[in-house]
Structure 1
Amino acid sequence: MDDPLPEDVRPVPSTTHRPYFPTHGDDGYRVGHYDLSLEYKVSANRLGAVARLSATAVRPLERISLDLGAFRVGGVLVDGRPARFTHRDGRLHLTPGRPAPGPFTVEVRYSGAPRPVSSHWGGVGWEQLTDGVIVAGQPVGAPSWFPCNDRPDDKASYRIAVTTASPYTVVANGELVERRRAGQATTWVYEQAEPMATYLASVQIGRYRRTELGPRMLLFHPARLAGRAANDFGRQDRMMALFTDRFGPYPFRAPYTAVVTEDELEIPVEAQGMSIFGANHVDGARGEERLVAHELAHQWFGNSLTAAGWRHIWLHEGFAAYAEWLWSEESGGPSAAAHAAHWHRRLTALPQDLVLADPGARDLFDDRVYKRGALALHALRTGIGDLAFFSLLRAWTAAHRHGSVTTEMFVDLALEFTPRSYETFFASWLYGSRLPPLP
């Protein structure tokens, strides 16, 4: 029998697992597909759009609630018929003609000046650049540009069509299936076949040049940064090979796309099948190469396997941070063990009040979530050995490909790869507030 767990490492009671963003999302239905048709004027920051959602109610709904920012809603159809609606405080409430479980469709016509959604971390979502647009939706920015069921566990396929002035390039999730020019405007149509969470949906608009980095890898960048970008992303094919070996096959059929904006960005941005970097992340000397590795790793951890709720964010960021250390040791830099020792010393000196498996909404992107998550993975690797550890990671990505995951699901699978009981190990690293020692 295992020793009793100390009080500070007992699993957090399930009653504390309330949604981090209770005003977003609706558990009464699931969306299967979004069809978004957008017309955007860059200089005026003016968006006119039609969103069509195909969904299924899991119970009879007297009201259908969507998340949508401060747009003017011109009309709503439910199953092809006009529906009454109210729109306030970021919520679009629809009253269907007859409440019933089962499939239904919604069409929303809306227009206005898109702006980011306010959050603990500033504005997130659709944001104007000096000459273009960036969409950074994590965690609650999707309503800044389309009506949606904004919860990470409601994943759907997408068709995104964007019409804008022809000098601009549009990059969105999935495969570019059509590009047509009419007059001074061009329409770009992308299809994202694999299920995607709303916060990962993204549109990038800018005066970009396209470069092919290798098989199924694209780079969009300003012309003036061509040389720097080619060098800084020049080893991405080796990263892809390493991560494919360690994590399993790349999970999406469309090419992986990196975008470098003309503007500087505080941090890179994650989207499904795509990563977005600022001009300040490209120095021509691979000074920020760890970020290239980090964002690529998110395609497995965060985009294919998406946290069922935001308290499980370490399943995204801890794994991506550990991928940085794996790339470091593969490319001739410090080993993962050296990184782990360094960051364990750093985190030991910080407040011991963060629970990795439930950090709280305000600490969602605290650096301790990233580094303690990576440390937990390295401690597990040290304990069970490389063969079992990387077999576990490949089994994890295969078992839940394109699905929603929780910490408890990972622990259940990991226990199948441990030579002895590891309940105390996981309780300490994931549910205890005090940082455990490294093995």
Structure 2
Amino acid sequence: MRRLLVATLATALTLAGTALPAQAAPAPGGAGLGDEYFPDYGNSGYDVSHYDVRLRYYPEQDRLTGTTTILAAATQDLSSFHLDFVLDVASVKVNNRPATFAREGDHELVVTPPRAVTRGQAMTVVVQYSGVPSNKVAAGFTAWTRTADGGLAVGEPEMAWWWFPSNDHPSDKATFDVSVAVPDGVEVLSNGVMPRNPTQDILGWKRWSWRSVKPQATYLAFLAIGQYEITRDTAADGQQVINAYSDLLPPDFEDAARASVERTAEVIDWESSVFGPYAFEARGGVVAPPGALGFALETQTRPVYSSGFFRSGANMSVIVHENAHQWFGDAVSVDQWKEIWLNEGFASYAEWLWSEAQGEGTAQEIFDYLYATEPDDFWTVAPAEPGAAEIFGGAVYDRGAMTLHELRRAIGDDDFFALLRTWTAEKRYGNADTAEFIALAEKVSGQQLDELFQAWLYTPSKPAVEGASALARAAAPQAPKSWAQIRQTHELLRSH
């Protein structure tokens, strides 16, 4: 009887000219999230909450086999969806049912589940795969680094493609479990905490497990596999402090690296006093084998450093920079890659603040030196609109830091540091853009700041400086004591 009533009602509404709306058919998710600089990075149609990455790695062949389980929710009715991935896929299941899959382009895997996924529905996606990541080329390069004793998955803005399928864009953060089996005697480092000691199996292999319990962008997930000496400690707040040093480091590099990385907990405590509470569950650092990397990366909870940063001795500048990213880049992430000055400008300014705190040169002295000595082409790049080719360019780092210093001068120290702490508190674990930062700066300071930000962030020419020190800045001041190390650090950081 109820079915007859429903049918009669539908007929009556149709005759009255008020037909029930037709339900849209499920549609494919998009290949890309519309990032202005990298439009095919990430994928639309779903949101990931967790990755479980379980791997076995064969160092002699640089071969990975694995299963990644992705927990997600559909944000539309999906007939198919994309994953960013380049290794060889053996099978895919969606909600425990076999799905079909096909390659599209150089890094897209198109998955078609046996039945559509409705908007809001939970998806459990299981991908089994294998391959030699150092042999896979996408976007014109190979991000995975094969080393003499293992491999490194460390890179920006793309890295996940070479070791786990993902929605690879910083706007879709998730938690992670990473578990890797390797031959006995090989070590594995990754993000977060080590919930248990490595476990031995009967085949002479050992399984290392790592857990990241706070939201993390996919490019910030990393692997370092090889021969490492691992040090462990506990911070004052009880957090795990885990550092690792490649066994291949020359003794002089190793001593300088230890004299730097072992101060990580101290640096994070200082940065917490400036930027607000630390957002994550662990801390530490990894120093890669010589020649393996040409840069450092702010991999969440545990930055990875090229040994080159320590060729001239201890380098606190890079430790301060990468750990400042735990606030600016990791906890608060960009919603588009064009906004990267919000990462690099802030981390660079943290180096200036550390220099000031250590009595090695004030932020004003560093600003004055840069303003007087940077060449003309430095000023032709606007930090907030650098272009895809310049996201790691000097202006993003140093002109970005100069913008923050001019903002500090304009609104005063009290409002400036309150602004930084408010920004990291309000945007923690989320994404943000420059317009939001400008709006917050104006709210905190009570000032109208459009002219300042337009000149320093968006104008591809050298801004004028005002105030009593303008003439002094136009001269060629002596470089502060800290500047040589900051400059060397930035030259390496920008070699992504």
Q: Fold-level match, TM-score > 0.5?
A: yes
Identity of aligned residues (%): 34
Structure with higher strand content: 1
- Partner SS, residue 205 of structure 1: strand
Matched, 1:271 2:289: no
* Partner in structure 1 of residue 366 of structure 2: 339
Matched, 1:32 2:52: no
* Partner in structure 2 of residue 62 of structure 1: 79
Contact 1:63 1:95 in 2 (8 A): yes
* Partner in structure 2 of residue 146 of structure 1: 164
Matched, 1:161 2:185: no
Aligned equivalents of 1:351 and 1:162: distance in 2? Answer: 44
Deviation at 1:117, TM superposition (A): 5.2
* Partner in structure 1 of residue 212 of structure 2: 192
Residues 237-268 of structure 1: CA deviation (Å, up to 9, x unaligned): 44223211110111101x21211122233111
Question: Match for 2:131 among 98, 101, 112?
Answer: 112
Contact 2:265 2:283 in 1 (8 A): no
* Partner in structure 2 of residue 316 of structure 1: 343
* Partner in structure 1 of residue 313 of structure 2: 285
2:245 alignment partner AA: H
Question: Match for 1:256 among 263, 278, 283?
Answer: 283
Matched, 1:135 2:181: no
- Partner SS, residue 62 of structure 1: strand
Aligned equivalents of 2:450 and 2:317: distance in 1? Answer: 32
Greater mean deviation of Cα atoms: 371-380 or 211-220: 211-220
Aligned equivalents of 1:327 and 1:342: distance in 2? Answer: 17
1:187 alignment partner AA: R
Aligned equivalents of 2:49 and 2:363: distance in 1? Answer: 40
Aligned equivalents of 2:183 and 2:168: distance in 1? Answer: 29
Structure 1: gaps spanning 5 or more residues:
1-16
* Partner in structure 2 of residue 398 of structure 1: 425
Greater mean deviation of Cα atoms: 370-379 or 423-432: 423-432
Aligned 1:290-369 pairs, distance under 5 A? 290-347=317-374, 349-369=376-396
Aligned 1:226-237 pairs, distance under 5 A? 226-237=254-265
Aligned 1:206-217 pairs, distance under 5 A? 206-212=226-232, 215=235, 216=239, 217=241
Greater mean deviation of Cα atoms: 355-364 or 29-38: 355-364
Aligned equivalents of 1:209 and 1:199: distance in 2? Answer: 25
After superposition, the Cα gap between the structure-2 partners of 1:171 and 1:145, relative to the gap in structure 1 and judged at 3 Å, is: same
Residues 307-331 of structure 1: CA deviation (Å, up to 9, x unaligned): 0110100000000010111111111
Aligned equivalents of 2:387 and 2:79: distance in 1? Answer: 32
After superposition, the Cα gap between the structure-2 partners of 1:257 and 1:18, relative to the gap in structure 1 and judged at 3 Å, is: closer
Aligned equivalents of 1:162 and 1:75: distance in 2? Answer: 20
Aligned equivalents of 1:191 and 1:271: distance in 2? Answer: 13
- Partner SS, residue 421 of structure 2: helix
1:60 alignment partner AA: D
1:30 alignment partner AA: D
Contact 1:171 1:205 in 2 (8 A): yes
Aligned equivalents of 1:206 and 1:18: distance in 2? Answer: 35
Structure number with greater CO (CA < 8 Å, separation at least 6) is 1
2:102 alignment partner AA: T
Deviation at 1:162, TM superposition (A): 0.5
Greater mean deviation of Cα atoms: 225-234 or 288-297: 225-234
Matched, 1:20 2:37: yes
* Partner in structure 2 of residue 9 of structure 1: none
Deviation at 1:118, TM superposition (A): 4.5
Contact 1:308 1:405 in 2 (8 A): yes
Contact 1:30 1:58 in 2 (8 A): yes
Contact 2:382 2:457 in 1 (8 A): yes
Deviation at 1:211, TM superposition (A): 2.2
Deviation at 1:67, TM superposition (A): 0.6
Residues 261-307 of structure 1: CA deviation (Å, up to 9, x unaligned): 22233111221111111222224732x32111111111111111110
Matched, 1:222 2:246: yes
Greater mean deviation of Cα atoms: 404-413 or 272-281: 272-281
* Partner in structure 2 of residue 176 of structure 1: 194
Matched, 1:79 2:95: yes
Paired residue total: 418
1:85 alignment partner AA: F
Contact 1:214 1:237 in 2 (8 A): no
Greater mean deviation of Cα atoms: 230-239 or 202-211: 230-239
Contact 2:174 2:215 in 1 (8 A): yes
Deviation at 1:169, TM superposition (A): 1.2
* Partner in structure 1 of residue 8 of structure 2: none
Could you say which structure has the larger radius of gyration? Answer: 2
- Partner SS, residue 178 of structure 2: strand
Deviation at 1:214, TM superposition (A): 6.0
Contact 1:28 1:61 in 2 (8 A): yes
After superposition, the Cα gap between the structure-2 partners of 1:413 and 1:53, relative to the gap in structure 1 and judged at 3 Å, is: same
Contact 1:231 1:284 in 2 (8 A): no
Matched, 1:385 2:385: no
* Partner in structure 2 of residue 11 of structure 1: none
1:206 alignment partner AA: G
Contact 2:55 2:181 in 1 (8 A): yes
Contact 2:35 2:337 in 1 (8 A): no
Aligned equivalents of 1:234 and 1:188: distance in 2? Answer: 22
* Partner in structure 2 of residue 93 of structure 1: 110
- Partner SS, residue 158 of structure 1: strand
TM-score normalised per structure 2: 0.80
TM-score normalised per structure 1: 0.91
Aligned equivalents of 1:312 and 1:406: distance in 2? Answer: 6
Deviation at 1:105, TM superposition (A): 1.4
